[in-house]
Structure formats: C-alpha cells, structure tokens
Amino acid sequence: MRRDGRMANSLLAALSRDWLGVPVAVLVTAVGGGLVGVGVAWAVALGGLLMAVGVLLAVGAVRHLVLVARERRESPPPGRLVDVGGHQMHVLAEGDAGGGPTVVWMPGGHAPGAELRELHTMLAARTRSVLVDRFGSGWSDVGPFPRTTAGEAEELLAALEGAGERGPFVFVGHSFGGLLVANAARRRPDLVAGLVLLDPTPLEVIAFAPISPQLAGMRRGFLLMSLRQLFGAHRDPGGRAGQGCAAASAFAELSPSGLAAVGWETVVYDGDLGDLPLVLVIPRDLIGGEAVLAGARDPAEAERISRFYLRTRVRYLAASTTSRLVHTPEGTGHDFPHEAPGFVAGVVADLVRELRAVSP
C-alpha cells in the first residue's frame, strides 16, 4: 500500500511539471520514427500514426507553455510570495486589524484563495483579512507531494508567519477547507482567537458513509485535467498541470483506505480545541447534496443516509467547549458561501466583534 502510494505521488509530481509534455511528445515521435525505419508495412503504418500523434502533442505542449508564460506575465500575484519549505506560497492580506483578530479564509475543495475573494473584500473593510493559495493553487508553486490536510495545515501556519501576519487569527474554512483550518487550530491554539467552520468535511462521512463515486470521479477528473493542460487541450489560459495533480493528491486521503493511513494526523476530535470559540455554520437540510441519496436501495436506506449526513454535520461542535451552531438561510445548500455571502460575512464579523470586546 505504501509502495503504491509512493509510486502514485512520484507520478503526480512528474505530471505536475508544465514542461513534461515536450519530452513526452518527442519520445512518441522518436518511437514512431523508429518503427517507420523498420520498413515492414504494419510498422510503417503504426510508426506514421505515432509520428503524427507526437507532432500534435508537441504543438499542444508548446502552446501550453506559451499560455502559462503569458498568464504569469499579464497576471502577476496581487499579494506576496513567501518561502515555505523552499517553495513559494501566495498570501494576500488587506485591511486593518484595528487591535482585533485577523481573519484567514480557506475555500473548499482544493481551490485557490480567490474562490472566497468576495468575502475577503467584505471583511477587509472591517478588519484585516487574508487569502492564502495553498500549494498547487492560484499563484503558489505546486509544492511537494503528497498533498495532505496535515501538511497543508502546517504550511498555512508557516505562510502566515513568513508573510509577517501575526495572530490572533480567526480561521474561516469551507468544506474541505474547514477540515484544514480546524487542523491548523489544533496544532497552534496559541495563534487562534476563534474558528468559523462553514459546513466542514466530517471524516465520518469518508470513513462510514456509502462509497461515493463522486469523490473518485473528482480525482479522475483532476488527473484528466492535468493531462489536457500538459498538451494544450484546455481553455483556461493560466491553467497549470500541477494544480490538478495537487488536488488529486489531496483527495487521495478522502477514501476509507486513504483516511486509515492519515486519520490520527487529520481528525479533529471531541475536546481537541479546548475552549476555543467555534462557530459551526451549516444548512438545515440536504439541499444541493441530493446526490448522496441516489444510491439508496429503498426509502428506509435513503432516510438512514439522510440522518447520517445531517448528524455528522454537527460533530465539530464537540471539538470545543465554547461552540455554537448557526443555520444558513432557508433554501441554501452546501455552497452557501457563494449563495449568501452577505450572511457569511455577517457571521464572521459578529465573531470578530465579540472577540474584540473581550480582548485585553
């Protein structure tokens, strides 16, 4: 299992290099040329086909490198690039803390910080607000492999320190990002004033829920996206192959077997956050998440699955003795940070105001 994991991460690290498409194309072309040289009819036909494919791959690979270079030239990072373990991580910090805590945002999936730019802008008008591109997203480098929640929690803390940002922080994370910031808070409670978890990923869902073809499909999708980018078959002008590879690596732990290997380092369990102020923000129902019920064999199992997901949503309340539950507006689902950004900004601003009132 470990050997397979090392091989998979070595492959992802190789695929994450934007220049890899060129030598692959040259190799395919060279193999085709060798077959043509054999002189046998079938070898000439196959070799000609491989040479044609190699030329097409080479054109696409060069196109990809040109697009990436152009995007880097025309869209420089708006924040700072700081060194984290020999790699550059992008940190955008704006606003004045005014003696209160600084808000740090982490979006879901493996998205760049800009995914929550609207919320960041709202809060930067009231306090200091920070967006961080985890490795393999936004303006940050791809970073080392494997990508793990535990590793990214450490990297987030190092990036904030490297950028000169000082606590106390209010960490705000959505979905997979909620799991990540809860891990960061568990590691450095001395830096954290409060935590706002926006429908964070509960690990029970990964370990005990019915097998989700969605997660496996997302990982395959990330890998296919990387291959398309390597050979220029993509529409995103700034798309880098490493972004899909990093996401695929991070999502590898979101399976029963993957979680078994990293669970102790990744879980945030009952009492792990002491008395840290924690606000859990979740929808009341499964709006937007109906796909989890699609595999139910009968109404009774559908009811059990629904109950399981709704109960696991509140598990983070037990992580702190000072936690409270807030429900999202009626009709919103898991994507409520984009559906109701004003509501989310208000919840975070309220916590910041409370913490300012009690700070010495």
Average pLDDT over residues 79-106: 96
Is residue 216's pLDDT more than 90? no
* DSSP-based three-state secondary structure for 103: strand
Is residue 3's pLDDT more than 90? no
CA dist list (Å): 120 to 75, 111, 356: 19, 15, 19
Is residue 248's pLDDT more than 50? yes
Give the model's pLDDT for residue 1. 46
Give the model's pLDDT for residue 252. 87
Of the listed ranges 222-236, 271-285, 334-348, the least confidently predicted one is: 222-236
Q: How confident is the model at residue 315 (pLDDT cuts 50, 70, 90)?
A: very high
Percent of the chain predicted with pLDDT > 90: 69
d(CA 21, CA 237): 16
Complete DSSP assignment for 270-297? TTTTTT--EEEEE-SS-TT-GGGGTT-S
Give the model's pLDDT for residue 99. 84
- Extract the tokens encoding 197: 């978890």
Q: How confident is the model at residue 41 (pLDDT cuts 50, 70, 90)?
A: very high
Intra-chain end-to-end CA distance of the chain, in Å: 51
What is the torsional sign of CA 104, 107, 113, 119? negative
Q: Which residue has the higher pLDDT, 153 or 293?
A: 153
Of the listed ranges 46-60, 82-96, 236-250, the least confidently predicted one is: 236-250
- Which residue reads 């009231």 in tokens? 126
- Extract the tokens encoding 116: 């929550």
Of the listed ranges 153-167, 218-232, 292-306, the least confidently predicted one is: 292-306
Q: Where are the domains of the chain?
A: 2-76+214-246, 80-201+254-358
Average pLDDT over residues 257-286: 93
Q: How confident is the model at residue 305 (pLDDT cuts 50, 70, 90)?
A: confident
* DSSP-based three-state secondary structure for 32: helix
Give the model's pLDDT for residue 360. 55
CB-based contact 275:321 (threshold 8 Å): yes
Is residue 69's pLDDT more than 70? yes
* φ and ψ at residue 342, rounded to 5 degrees: -65, -40
Sheet with 169-174, edge to edge strand ranges: 80-84, 87-94, 129-133, 102-106, 169-174, 192-198, 278-282, 323-327
Percent of the chain predicted with pLDDT > 70: 97
d(CA 227, CA 243): 11
- Residue 73 makes CB contacts below 8 A (sequence gap 6+) with none
Q: Taking Cα atoms as reference points, which of 33, 351, 344, 1 lies closest to residue 175?
A: 344
Q: How confident is the model at residue 301 (pLDDT cuts 50, 70, 90)?
A: confident
Is residue 209's pLDDT more than 90? no
Degrees to nearest 5, angle at CA 324 with 256 and 186: 50
Is residue 237's pLDDT more than 70? no
- Whether the model clears a pTM of 0.85, i.e. scores above it, the answer is yes
Give the model's pLDDT for residue 240. 83
Can the peptide bond before residue 200 be classed as cis, meaning omega within 30 degrees of 0?
no
Average pLDDT over residues 26-37: 95
How far is CA 192 from its chain centroid?
21
* Backbone dihedral region for residue 202 (phi beyond 0: left; psi -120 to 50: alpha; all else: beta): beta
Give the model's pLDDT for residue 120. 98
Is residue 198's pLDDT more than 70? yes
Average pLDDT over residues 92-99: 93
Round the average pLDDT of the chain to a whole number and report it. Answer: 91
Please say whether the structural domain 80-201+254-358 has been given the CATH code 3.40.50.1820: yes
Q: How confident is the model at residue 220 (pLDDT cuts 50, 70, 90)?
A: confident
* DSSP-based three-state secondary structure for 82: strand
Give the model's pLDDT for residue 206. 87
